[in-house]
Structure 1
Amino acid sequence: MEYTRHGNNAALSIHVLDDAAMRALGFTDCVPEDWYLRKPVSDDHTTSLDVTAAKDGSDWCIDVLDEDFGQPYDYQWILSQDPDFAYARKVAANVERELRILADAGVLVGWKEGMYV
């Protein structure tokens, strides 16, 4: 698999929609040149899906973060080691739900359920 400079799957891309559509999906633009989305993906809200995309579409990054430690939470690797790990399974289900929303809206391009992001 090829990776982007941010370590994401290079088979994916982000298509930036108009401002109203991006805001309707929950994106904010506190940094004027970027769209940013943060969605909790754990019941305890300590793990989040974070998506950053340059407004001109030139760059993007998708992260799943452990908010308590400010580190990536690689639920996909964890599940490859222990498929029954309940916390990682719940995070995976929630991340998939959020990615499906972005894909259905036309923002996340090339995504298929279960693929490495």
Structure 2
Amino acid sequence: MPRPIVAHIRPDAIRHNLDFIRRTAAQSRVWAVIKADAYGHGIERIYSGLAAADGIALLDLAEAVRVRELGWDKPVLLLEGIFEPTDVELVERHRLTVSVHCDEQLDMLIAAKPR
């Protein structure tokens, strides 16, 4: 019989952990990496605990846009980069930084750049 699994999402605990890391590595930049919509719990549930981070890194473009819509004004890194030429406009509009993993991504960025 499977045991019940419960997840307690506590932004105050996230904040505490981030503060501890900040004190321990005082000279370092500290970024929060959010994966898979906070592992399915929702970015909104953890967002308030991340205020002390220097930036947020995410895999998904829609999640990066959502973080901006929540009011995040520090750097946002899109770890997977872009996949469609139309993604470039969203990246620019929401002031996202993208990783480039292949020639196709680089070509899309170059093609979108005004001459």
Q: Which has the higher contact order (CA 8 A, sep 6+)?
A: 1
Q: Which has the greater radius of gyration?
A: 2
Larger relative strand fraction: 1
Could you say whether these structures have the same fold, taking a TM-score greater than 0.5 normalized by the shorter chain as the test?
Answer: no
Larger relative helix fraction: 2
TM-score (norm 2): 0.24
TM-score (norm 1): 0.24
